[in-house]
A and B are shown apart, each in its own frame.
Chain A
Amino acid sequence: MGNLRAYSGITTKIRAMHKRLISDAAFRELANLTSVQEAVLFLKRQPGYQDIFQSVDETSLHRVEIEDNLRSSIYDDFSSIYSFANMSQRKYMDLYFKRYEVDFIKSCLRNTYSNNEVSSNDLELNKKFFERHSQIDLEKIKVCTTIDELIQGLKDTEYYSGLSRLEHISNPTLFNYENALDFQYFSSLWKNMQKVLDKKDLEIIIRDQGSKMDLLNILWIFRSKQYYNMSNADVYAMLLPHQYKLKTMDITKLVEASTKEEYFQALASTYYGKRYQLTSIASVEDVYAQVRNKQHLVDAREHPYSIATINSYLYFKETEVDLLTTTLECIRYRVEPSEILNIIKKQ
């Protein structure tokens, strides 16, 4: 009963917001458009995006700007849920927010690496949102031109110690920095969610985040070995800190596998291998999306008055933005509509 009272308002709010997500039919319509301008006009018609795209001129939009606007629609949704949430729900959302923060720092790092300016458009667009939720001093970050300055700018945040430690290793790369951020994000999420969630909510989130980490580890091990030829020790160093259904043995087998065949053999014996047909990396990627989709659908349906409603909605929203970004990109490069639908799995 307690949960029903705590979640009744926010669940209703989120149900209403669900209505504004783009339907599969609408995605099919979008895929059939032939130019980015048309696509933006299409977005202007969608209730979830019309506010954001209303003021922009579709003929002069740059790709980056469209993507920034799409991202900020996530932030808008996050904010409106946040304003509906009570104190304990907000605590979880504060933890959840850190993924946006990490994404933001990553994009800053990339920009500095490639000597671009920190995207000022993105900063201006989402300044209010970050000022409200973030521990980062945006003004300080804005003027940074080197990685060192950037790290110094993050001095008062939890990311500092992980990032600054990388000075001690020889030639840290962008990969090292991003890995340190991911690491920090997942460990702090894992550690702190035990404090802010009650038992039932915690179970849901552990299932969600645990399987996410497992699947990411499986993916990353494959990629780092097959595409980047990383040494085993480097692969171990990169892995995310917690395991859900994967055993330590599974991980060593996966990492020590020297050929693709051995890898998939090892994978077949894991929890995920037994459950799903994992015979190629494409199928692993599919399974990653499938598992997460399904889990969120089921959680939101079975536990409507729990943290799952917030968690799942944000997941769907983020996925939708990813798909929209992909679709727009496909439209830009004149990919055939059927091919687009194949890529975004909306046939």
Chain B
Amino acid sequence: MIVKMKFLSITGPKADIDRVADEYLTRYEIHLENALSELKTVHNLRPFVETNPYKDILAKANEFLGLVDVSDVQTEEAIDLSEAIAVVESLNENINDIRNSRMLLEDEREKLNEALRVIEPFQELQFNIEEILHFGHLKYRFGRIPIEYYEKFLKYVYADLDTVFVKCQSDAEYVWGVYFVPTIDHHKTDAVYASLHFERIYLPDEYKGTPEEACIDLQNEIQRISAKIGAHTNQIAAKLEDNRVKLVRAQKEIESMSKIFDVRKLAACTSQKQDVFYIICGWMAEPDAYALQKEMENDPSLYCVIEEDDEQDSELDTIRSRPPTKLKNLKLFKPFEMFVKMYGLPNYHEIDPTMFVALTYAFIFGAMFGDIGQGLLLVIGGYTLYYVKKMDLAAIVGTAGIFSTIFGFLYGSFFGFEDVIEPLWIKPMGHMTNLPFIGTINTVFVVAVVFGMFLILMTMCFHIINGIRAKDTKDTWFDTNGVAGLVFYASIVAVIFLAMTGNKTPAFIILVIMFGIPLLLIAFKEPITNLVQKKKEAMQESRGMFLAQAFFELFEVLLSYFSNTISFLRIGAFAVSHAAMMEVVLMLAGAENGGSPNWLVIVIGNLFVCGMEGLIVGIQVLRLEYYEMFSRFYKGTGRPFDPFLTVENKKSRKR
């Protein structure tokens, strides 16, 4: 079911907005809309702009919470806002000193890292840096040279140059190294190096020992400082740890106040100079809306209007945004909302297909996977998992398992043993039906296709209902799934039924009327709709193109009727295959001739078939739901009902 929504607007003096939000909006679920864009027709509105005073303190509280583990803290108790702010601020002051000294340490570490980066590539140099830096008659140059120029340097230049190049590390682009050159004439050599794109790196006179030693020293120093930083962080965490319960409560309170404050983002203000009023508006479930209105009647500074929606007044619909969709279903069906949401939430005016999905899904699953034992396993496993982990999918498996069990009795199958229980209906593997034109065929196949036809007819009816609700003439009457399609398909079903049961088929004229007219309507749905709605341009494209397109579309329509119907064969196929697979398991276990079976093989085989086939059948049924059924009537273009404050949040604030 889709919950009926009411659009309501609340207005009052500007300064009063926080009280209203805190007092009323926290107790009712309301889907707020942006008042400015919603009330386009009301002039002289401007946005309600005010900076959130809780923003900074909330950020701080969140930062602190990130540093401590609070997963086990219960927050039943609430604290006052001023107290909450005091808690966070005192904590902040408390750890400020430690944080400042940590920051200094971090700066220092950054500097050391920089020094390390400079010296790191020169580690191959086995010489004391300090000594190099104080050479008297030799000039030294630390630096790097692009690798391709280094190759040229070695190839052409190095042999004839008065210089020693000590190669250090290299990567894909550069070779690092130091070159030495006599002080006399060093300009010439420097020029040669410069020509080969040697880039000098200036080392500060702060390194001790060889580069390698310097690196190790630096790394040690960095580690030492990192440890100090870690200690500081731990200190901060310890301080927070002592106050963590208070902190969690404070954060909760500030967060909800901040959220309430943010109601302004969706509100609008009137634009007078004095006596400014705010307006907020949004969607509420119908009973909630009336309850809230009643409560607000006693409040002198509040004015609450519920817009009564006129069915005829479609103009209003174009002004206002579409109502959001809130699904409300029996607890048993609720997990199946997952499948619906996966496809798309229903539009507010659409039928909620949840119940339909729940029933058909579980039923078809059962029919494809009929086994008392394995079905019961699914029921127990599924529901246990649902209650422990709250997984929707587990509940779906459980519900499907119930039908599995029921069909198990109908097929007489218990953990693959087909002869323990007498079937209430038939054995899917062996039971055959004799049909005219077709011959002998498994009964379950016939039943599956008949059932499929029934489902297709049903979904067509849903489509028509949706079309009427949306006031869409084309969809209701001329669509493949509209009245025209329904008449055509129902006629085919009827004729086949008559033929198969050995009755006489209707006269040729009747057949032409029953098949021909609906098909023509479907082919020419666009021009006919335009004609009916008295629009101009019955046919937009050129006639030839239109006819060719209509012909091929019609061909596709017919083909899809056929393939969709045949698609339901899979229900029967899986019913048969389940029995066949279990037969193989029994054969492997050596039980087919009445000998004593290998129980281990039977248990493992059952688990394997249960898991494997359960998965495949689960997917196949979902496929049937989406392709064969949903595509006929369901659009799924709704938007979710997103309450301004969630129920959980409200509970903690009821005090």
- Report whether B156 and A252 are in contact in the complex, using a CB–CB cutoff of 8 Å: yes
Residues of B contacting A170 in the complex (Cβ-Cβ under 8 angstroms): 194
Task: Please tell me if B173 contacts chain A, counting CB pairs below 8 Å.
Answer: yes
B192 contact set on A, CB distance < 8 A: 231-233
B590 interface contact, C-beta 8 A: no
> What separation, in Å, do the CA atoms of A168 and B155 have in the docked complex?
23
Q: Does A62 contact B (CB under 8 A)?
A: no
Known: A187-B148, A233-B191, A237-B149. A169 touches B156 (CB 8 A): no
A161 interface residue, CB < 8 Å from B? yes
Per-residue 0/1 for A2-19: is the Cβ within 8 Å of any B Cβ (1 yes, 0 no)? 000000000000000000
User: Residue A241 at the B interface, CB < 8 A?
Assistant: yes
Contact A237 B195 (CB under 8 A): yes
Which residues from B are CB-within-8-Å of A275?
none
Q: A236-B156, A251-B156 are in contact. Are A231 and B195 (CB under 8 A)?
A: yes
> Which of A165, A234, A237, A241 has most B Cβ within 10 Å?
A237
Q: Is B146's beta carbon under 8 Å from chain A?
A: yes
**B157 CB-CB contact with A under 8 Å:** yes
- Which chain A residues border B196 with CB–CB below 8 Å? 233, 236-237
A255 touching B156, Cβ below 8 Å: yes
Q: Which residues of B lie under 8 Å from residue A232 when comparing CB positions?
A: 157, 192
Tell me if A236 and B194 are in contact (CB < 8 A): no
* B199 partner, pick from A161, A168, A239, A241, beta carbons under 8 A: A168
- Within 8 Å CB of A231, what residues of B? 191-192, 195
**Shortest distance from the beta carbon of B144 to any chain A beta carbon, whole Å:** 9
A315 at the binding interface (Cβ < 8 Å) = no
**Cβ B157 vs Cβ A233 within 8 A:** yes
Closest residue of chain A to B192 (Cβ to Cβ) is A233
Which residue in chain A gives the minimum CB-CB distance to B148? A241
Nearest-CB residue, chain A, relative to B196: A237
- Judged by a CB distance under 8 angstroms, whether B152 is at the interface is yes
Q: Residues 427-441 of chain B: 1 if any A CB is under 8 Å from the residue's CB, otherwise 0?
A: 000000000000000
Distance of A103 from chain B, by nearest CB (Å): 21
Taken together as a complex, chains A and B put the C-alpha atoms of A103 and B199 apart, in Å, by 28
- Contact (A169, B194) CB under 8 Å given A161-B173, A187-B148, A241-B148: yes
Chain A positions 172-204 with a Cβ under 8 Å from a chain B Cβ:
183, 187
Residues of chain A contacted by B152 (CB below 8 angstroms): 236-237, 239
| Nearest A residue to B193, CB-CB | A233
Does any Cβ of A come within 8 Å of B197's Cβ? yes
CA distance A183 to B149 in the complex (A): 11
User: Nearest Cβ distance between residue A246 and chain B, in whole angstroms?
Assistant: 12
Given A233-B192, A252-B156, also A169-B199 (CB < 8 A): yes
Once A231-B195, A241-B148 are accepted as A-B contacts, the answer to whether A236 and B157 lie under 8 Å apart by CB is yes
Assuming the contacts A236-B157, A248-B155, asked whether A165 and B148 have C-beta atoms less than 8 A apart, the reply is: no
Q: How many residues of B contact A (CB 8 A)?
A: 18
Q: With a CB–CB cut-off of 8 A, which chain B residues contact A248?
A: 155-156
CA distance A239 to B196 in the complex (A): 11
Q: In the assembled complex, how far is the CB of residue A156 from the closest CB belonging to chain B, in whole angstroms?
A: 17
Bound Cα distance from A245 to B173, whole angstroms? 27
Asked whether B148 lies within 8 Å of A233 as measured between CB atoms, the reply is no
Chain B, 96-150, CB within 8 A of any chain A CB: 146, 148-149
Residues of A within 8 A of B157 (CB): 232-233, 236
Measured between C-beta atoms, what is the minimum distance from B476 to chain A in Å? 48
Give complex CA distance A233, B197 in Å. 10
Output the least CB separation between B189 and chain A (Å): 9
Interface of B is mostly: helix
Give chain B residues whose Cβ lies under 8 Å from the Cβ of A236.
Answer: 152-153, 156-157, 195-196
> Given the known A-B contacts A187-B148, A236-B152, A255-B156, are A165 and B197 also in contact in the complex, defined by CB atoms under 8 Å?
yes
**A239, B155: Cα distance in complex, Å:** 12
Nearest residue, chain B, Cβ from A167: B199
The answer for the CA separation of A241 and B156 in the assembled complex, in Å, is: 12
B191 touches A237 (CB 8 A): no
- The answer for the CA separation of A241 and B197 in the assembled complex, in Å, is 15
- Shortest CB–CB separation between residue A27 and chain B, in angstroms? 41
Separation in Å of the B453 CB from the closest CB of chain A? 50
Are A165 and B191 neighbours in the complex by a CB distance under 8 Å?
A: no
Cα of A251 to Cα of B155 in the assembled complex, Å: 10
For residue A241, which residue of chain B has the nearest CB?
B148
- Nearest CB to that of B156 among chain A residues? A236
Q: Which residue of B lies closest to A165 (CB)?
A: B146
Q: Which residues of chain A are within 8 angstroms of B173 by Cβ–Cβ distance?
A: 161, 165
**Which B residue sits closest to A239, measured CB to CB?**
B152
Bound Cα distance from A161 to B194, whole angstroms: 19
Task: Provide the residues of chain B in CB contact with A169, threshold 8 Å.
Answer: 194, 197, 199
Residues on B with C-beta less than 8 A from A183 are: 148
- A255, chain B: closest CB distance, angstroms: 7
Chain B residues lying within 8 Å of A168, measured Cβ to Cβ, are: 197, 199
Nearest-CB distance from B176 to chain A (Å)? 13
Within 8 A of A (CB), among B148-199: 148-149, 151-153, 155-157, 173, 191-197, 199
Instruction: Tell me the residues in window 517-533 of chain B with beta carbons closer than 8 Å to chain A beta carbons.
Output: none
Query: Digit string of A149-177 for contact with B (CB within 8 Å is 1, else 0)?
Result: 00000000000010001101110000000
What distance in Å separates the Cβ of B528 from its nearest Cβ neighbour in chain A?
Answer: 45
Q: Shortest beta-carbon distance, B212 to chain A, in Å?
A: 26
A166 to B199, CA, bound (A): 10
Minimum Cβ distance to chain B for residue A118 (Å): 27
Chain B residues within an 8 Å CB radius of A241: 148, 151
Mask of A213-246 contacts with B, CB within 8 angstroms, 1/0:
0000000000000000001111011010100000
Complex alpha-carbon distance, A170 and B199, angstroms: 9
Choose among B156, B157, B191 the residue with the greatest number of A CB atoms under 10 Å from its CB.
B156
Q: Is the CB of A234 within 8 A of B195?
A: yes
List residues of chain A with CB within 8 A of the CB of B155. Answer: 248
CA gap between A125 and B295 in the complex, in Å: 72
In this complex, which of A165, A169, A231, A233 has the most chain B Cβ atoms within 10 angstroms of its Cβ? A233
Closest A residue to B195 by beta carbon equals A233
A166 to B153, CA, bound (A): 18
Instruction: Give the complex CA separation of A255 and B155 in angstroms.
Output: 13
Residue of B with least CB distance to A255: B156
Q: Which residue of B lies closest to A169 (CB)?
A: B197
Residue of B nearest to A162 (CB): B146
Bound state CA distance, A169 and B190, in angstroms? 13
Chain B residue, CB-CB nearest to A168: B199
Q: Report the bound CA distance from A46 to B155 in whole Å.
A: 50
Residue of A nearest to B153 (CB): A236
A234–B148 CA distance with the chains assembled, in angstroms: 14
Alpha-carbon gap, A224 to B56, bound state (A): 66
Complex CA–CA separation, A165 to B147 (angstroms): 12
Measured in the bound complex, the distance between the Cα atoms of B199 and A187 in whole Å is 22
Least Cβ–Cβ distance between B179 and chain A, in angstroms: 13
The residue in chain A whose Cβ has the minimal distance to the Cβ of B152 is A236
Least CB distance from B494 to A in Å reads: 57
**Nearest chain B residue, comparing its CB with the CB of A184:** B148
A183 to B195, CA, bound (A): 15
B195: A residues at CB distance < 8 A: 231, 233-234, 236-237
- Residues of chain B within 8 A of A237, CB atoms compared: 149, 152, 195-197
Assembly CA distance A232 to B148 (angstroms): 17
**Closest chain A CB from B434 CB (angstroms):** 58
Q: Which residues of B contact A255 (CB under 8 A)?
A: 156
Q: How far is the CA of A169 from the CA of B197 in the complex (A)?
A: 6
Interchain CA distance A239-B152 in the complex, whole Å: 9
In the assembled complex, which residues on chain A have CB atoms less than 8 Å from the CB atom of B146? 165
Residues of B within 8 A of A239 (CB): 152
Sorted nearest first, the 7 A-B pairs with minimum C-beta distance are A233-B195, A233-B192, A234-B195, A168-B199, A236-B156, A237-B195, A237-B196
In the complex, besides A236-B153, A237-B152, A239-B152, 4 extra interface pairs with C-beta distance below 8 angstroms are A169-B197, A231-B195, A236-B152, A251-B156
23 sample A-B contacts, Cβ–Cβ < 8 Å, listed by A number = A161-B173, A165-B173, A165-B197, A166-B197, A168-B199, A169-B197, A231-B191, A232-B192, A233-B191, A233-B193, A233-B196, A234-B195, A236-B153, A236-B156, A236-B157, A236-B195, A237-B149, A237-B152, A237-B195, A241-B151, A248-B155, A248-B156, A252-B156
Hey, which bits of chain B sit against chain A, CB under 8 A? 146, 148-149, 151-153, 155-157, 173, 191-197, 199
